[in-house]
Structure 1
Amino acid sequence: MSIVTETAVKALLSTKSSTQVRPRYEGSNICTWIGFKHVNYMVEEAVLDHFRQSELPARGLYEEHGLGLDIVGLDTRILHAFHMDDLATATVTPHTKDADGTIGLKVVIEVERDGETLKAVTSKVRVALRIDGYLAAAEPAPEALARFAVERLGGHAVTDVEPSAAVVEAAAGIEHDPSTIVRSDDPSDPLLAALTQGANAYAWKWRIPYPYCHFTERLQMSGYLRLMEEAKDLFVAERGISIKSLLDDRRWIPVVPHSSITLTDEALMEEVLYTVFTVEEVFKDFVYTSRMDTYVVRDGKPVLTSTGKITHGYAVIENRRDWKLVSLDQRVLDAVNGTATGSVRDA
């Protein structure tokens, strides 16, 4: 019997849900604070539970109807920091005004501090239901959900990111043998060089491993979040201000008030993914914004699979419990702006 009913879909698209969420222990990398990636994981958990409460769980959608629940858009603002063991309340509100073929949701996460309830996170989420093409065809998507069922992810996305002529030329003729690809940021690689040409950017390529994927074949949103976190780590290391060096020198840690990722196409397990991290703007020596774009090469052509943005600042650790934001000093500004480059990190 189908799990999809008109009542369930109506609840999904019109009824608020609420659930309690905790940050995962893994995300507490520095003291007891939780990084942006794991904050977004809490957003993801709230979205999955919204589907469960609507009686449309991700497992049922896939096993019974061959529909993979994919988060294809995520735009998250962090207003207050999360700590290890925080128990927060996430409220999910359907938001279906945009007719882009996805399910729109707004997520607000609140946490208690000293007896006061604070709005800690706001996020806009887009969800697509991907028709499984790996196994034998399932029955057609039930009519109530058919408008959200897609044969390929990314069709909803509108972006002004286009590969340059140099990137198109460098990609022509590339044929990867996944078994021979290792992680590399070699600046002599023609496509890596083209992707960073004329930009304040860092790029590397690697083979997409299965732990970053889901539904048997494709890179999932949490995988892109891991890539965005790693992009920052590799970029600052290449510029001579690695996370550990600033921790050791001055107890500075990176903080992220805003991040967003939009899937524009699919990236498949064991494809070679090119990731580009480009600094766009520094605001008043306080925070800087960067863009992350990812590409695969198919039939000799570069295919953009995601684009996103992240805002970074720095905070100084005052004690095991507290930190405060600081302005970027000249060493950090020079590194971020590319006017003083440290040693290149080995790939």
Structure 2
Amino acid sequence: MTAAVDPNLVKALLTESSTLRLRPRYEGSNICSWIGFKHVNYMVEEAVLVHFKQAGLPARALYEEHGLGLDFVGMDTRILHAFHIDDEAEAEVEPVSKGGEDALTFKVTIRVDRDGHTLKAVTSKVRLALRVDTYLEPAAEVPAELAPYAVQRLGADLPEVADPAPESSARAAEVLAAGGDEAAVLAALTEGRNAYAWKWNITYPYCHFTERLQLSGYLRLMEEAKDRFVLDRGISIKTLLDERKWIPVVPHSAVRIVDEALMEEDLYTVYTVEEVFKDLTYTSRMDNYVIRDGRFHLVQSGRIVHGYAVIENRRDWSLIPFDQRVIDAFNGKPQA
């Protein structure tokens, strides 16, 4: 018989706000003392996990006592001010809705003090799901209070996301079925797109709850996709650092899990430039596929906006417009 859950805990989770003090992790300081977008999203993730714990429904108890994996399935984050190592911030987590389609959706606001002023540094909308665990034991009976938020498979309770390039995916599947090598499959997968793609076998450190790729793993892949893409286009991160002291900056990122991807499955990542806005930012889409029943099956989709900043000194940077060389690289034109 399943353990009961106090309905007041669920009510607190879905109706009350929470706050906590937190700071970015040291690993995220890759260039000078600034913190990259991935670790800003990790702060958002931590704030929501603490919100669950403060409400009396921590991730560990949900899993060990009720067989429910607390999974982040969507994160849409805007960065308004940069974070530095040793910054201490305050995060506020607010439930978006008491139930219905927006159940387990939260708004996160992170504020930081700068020169005597408190600034809104980050806003994010986050969606979670309680995934019924069946890997180690038969599915437990879900407590009635949590049943409305439990799912048998990630993405199954959300509107379907269409493959953004079904013709390329179908062609890649044909090449794979015909015995084409990896390069030929990737070429077919990016055909007709201003894109870069690679194949990767999902490794254990990117997974959680024993078997599936977690949302933070997709954030790591999104960061790697940018690095691989600009290297392929002749304007690698280090090239622009060495030549111009330019660094990429991210004002907006969004990741959504469409379906589950499992440990040791082959994952095909496609990073596509969608728009170059004037000479200030460009938007890219990252889509991830696994092979199911001989088809490329979409498991994740998301977008990221990049700009560039020039490093002025160890403390300061400022946004800078793209020049023609960089714009051409984004648009796929050959480098001179």
* TM-score, length-scaled by structure 1: 0.92
Cα distance between partner residues in 2 of 1:166 and 1:260: 23
Two-structure CA RMSD over aligned residues (Å): 1.9
Aligned to 1:121: 122
1:107 aligns with 2:116: no
Q: Does 2:298 match 1:304? A: yes
Q: Do the aligned partners of 1:101 and 1:147 also contact (CA within 8 Å) in 2?
A: no
Per-residue CA distance 1:58-116 (angstroms, 9 max, x = gap): 00000001100000000000000000010000000001277337411000000000110
* Cα distance, 1:137 vs structure 2: 1.9
State the Cα deviation string for residues 144-185 of structure 1 (Å, max 9, x = none).
11011111001214434344234224325958xxxxxxxxxx
CA drift at 1:282: 0.7
Distance 1:255 1:84, change over 3 A: same
Task: Tell me what 2:173 maps to.
Answer: 171
Q: 1:172 to 1:69 in 2, by over 3 A?
A: farther
Q: Distance in 2 between matches of 1:187 and 1:275?
A: 16
After superposition, the Cα gap between the structure-2 partners of 1:149 and 1:91, relative to the gap in structure 1 and judged at 3 Å, is: same
Mapped pair 1:145 → 2:146: yes
- The whole-number CA distance in structure 2 between the counterparts of 1:96 and 1:151 is 22
SS state of the match for residue 243, structure 2? helix
DSSP-derived class of the 1:199 partner:
coil
Quote the offset at 1:188 in angstroms.
6.2
1:61 maps to 62
In the alignment, structure 1 residue 82 sits paired with structure 2 residue 79: no
CA contact (8 A) 1:187 1:193 kept: no
Tell me which residue corresponds to 1:178.
none
Q: Which residue identity lines up with residue 212 of structure 1 in the other structure? A: Y
Asked if structure 2 preserves the Cα contact closer than 8 Å seen for 1:261 and 1:308, the reply is yes
CA contact (8 A) 1:3 1:60 kept: no
Contact (CA 8 Å) 2:24, 2:86: kept in 1 or not? yes
Write the letter of the residue equivalent to 1:93.
E
| AA of the residue aligned to 1:206 | W
SS of residue in 2 equivalent to 1:68: strand
Structure 1 residues 207-216 or 1-10, which shifts more? 1-10
Of residues 267, 274, 278, the one that matches 2:268 is: 274
How many Å apart are 1:302 and its aligned residue?
A: 1.2
Q: Distance in 2 between matches of 1:187 and 1:120?
A: 46
- Judged with a 3 Å threshold, the aligned counterparts in structure 2 of structure 1 residues 190 and 98 are, in CA distance, closer, same or farther, namely farther
Cα distance per residue 1:299-337 (max 9 Å; x no partner): 111110000000000000000000000000111111111
Would you say 1:247 and 2:238 are equivalent positions?
no
CA–CA distance in 2 between the matches of 1:195 and 1:99? 37
The CA distance in 2 between the partners of 1:188 and 1:226, in whole Å, is 22
1:247 counterpart letter in structure 2 = L
**Structure 2 Cα separation of the partners of residues 246 and 49 of structure 1:** 39
Residue 100 of structure 1 aligns to a residue in which SS? Answer: helix
Aligned twin of 1:212: 206
| Shift in CA distance, 253/173, structure 1 to aligned 2, threshold 3 Å | closer
User: Between the two proteins, what is the percent identity of the paired residues?
Assistant: 64
CA distance in 2, matches of 1:162, 1:21: 37
Amino acid at match of 1:79: L
Q: Unaligned regions of 5+ residues in structure 1, if any?
A: 176-185, 343-347
The answer to which of 95-104 and 296-305 deviates more is: 95-104
Q: Does 1:238 align with 2:206?
A: no
Q: Which amino acid aligns with 2:87?
A: D
Per the normalisation by structure 2, the TM-score is 0.95
Q: Within 2, Cα distance between the matches of 1:35 and 1:117?
A: 21
- Secondary structure at the residue paired with 1:140? coil
1:138 shift after superposition: 4.3
